[in-house]
A = this chain, B = another copy of it.
């Protein structure tokens, strides 16, 4: 392409995509103009009229016309914010991974924190309380070693969790849509028909599946009832894989021991709301003492932020060159 040609135009939509801009720009080998626009895309109809690509977590029928659009690239793995039935013919939807290290680290951190309660330990010692020490008769903490981990959904996240959990001498089992997968760190992979049987032997259950019609509400009253009262559910996947009311009841009635929740059923609509809104609008999870809560941070690491823009830039380059795109989901 000669310097006199117009560059291709890509829009980067919303606060969550803004941090990718410099990384994408640095990695591109074809000429693109990158334009950041706010989440309220209606304000940006002029730039959208010229955009060939959009890096965005959201897309819907409310978007202004974008006749040149050929690529909607989500900046993460989940594309449940893209209304696929509203995507015009000829527009590809791509996703990007690279968050497996961060998400699997968050997952192991949550399980380790559940066992060893380091946050409590720090607060206690800062106020002068040594009584958790064995020297003064303190009760022992739990341990991951020897515990059974059941991973639901043996994708990239699931495999990354399995590898780390195996190094802690956990026994790792997986439940997956197709039971014919295998993994060197997983003792056995079973199909979804064996979900409840397998949950019944878990000390920890980690959700690693995408949100699809098949997985929505997969962890319901019956699945939670199958778990041991000492078991802990860890969800870095997507909130609605779990039936929200069923989980709240199981936790508040202590029918399972606890949960670590990073992904939610609904999110604040904007930054103002995000400054002061309960994690759930429907159930007071934030009042429970047997949960570890975080605001969808698991995959949001410096490593993810370094790796993802490079992968997105490669797809923009492929688009500019007319080459086949990678990680096409629609």
Please give the residue numbers on chain A whose beta carbons come within 8 Å of chain B beta carbons, in ascending order: 14-16, 18-19, 57, 101-102, 105-106, 108-110, 112-113, 115-116, 118-119, 121-122, 124-126, 128-138, 140-146, 163-164, 166-169, 267-268, 270-271, 274-279, 286, 292-297, 300-305
Instruction: Pull 19 A–B residue pairs with CB atoms less than 8 Å apart, ordered by A.
Output: A15-B134, A15-B136, A19-B137, A19-B140, A101-B143, A102-B143, A102-B145, A113-B113, A113-B119, A118-B294, A121-B295, A126-B286, A128-B277, A130-B275, A132-B300, A134-B300, A136-B274, A138-B297, A143-B301
Shortest beta-carbon distance from A142 to chain B in Å: 6
Docked-complex contact B142 and A301, CB < 8 angstroms: yes
Q: How many copies does the complex hold?
A: 2
Chain B residues closer than 8 Å to A275, beta-carbon distance: 128-131
Contact partner of A300 (CB less than 8 A), chosen from B19, B133, B169, is B133
**A101 touches which of B15, B129, B145, B300 (Cβ 8 Å):** B145
CB neighbours of A129 from chain B (8 A) = 274-276, 295
Given A125-B294, A167-B166, residue A301 in contact with residue B135 (CB < 8 A) = no
Asked if A134 and B19 make an inter-chain contact with CB atoms under 8 angstroms apart, the answer reads yes
Q: Is the CB of A295 within 8 A of B130?
A: yes
Are the C-beta atoms of A144 and B105 separated by less than 8 Å? Answer: yes
Q: A114 to nearest B CB, angstroms?
A: 10
Interface centre among A105, A108, A135, A163 (most CB of B within 10 A): A135
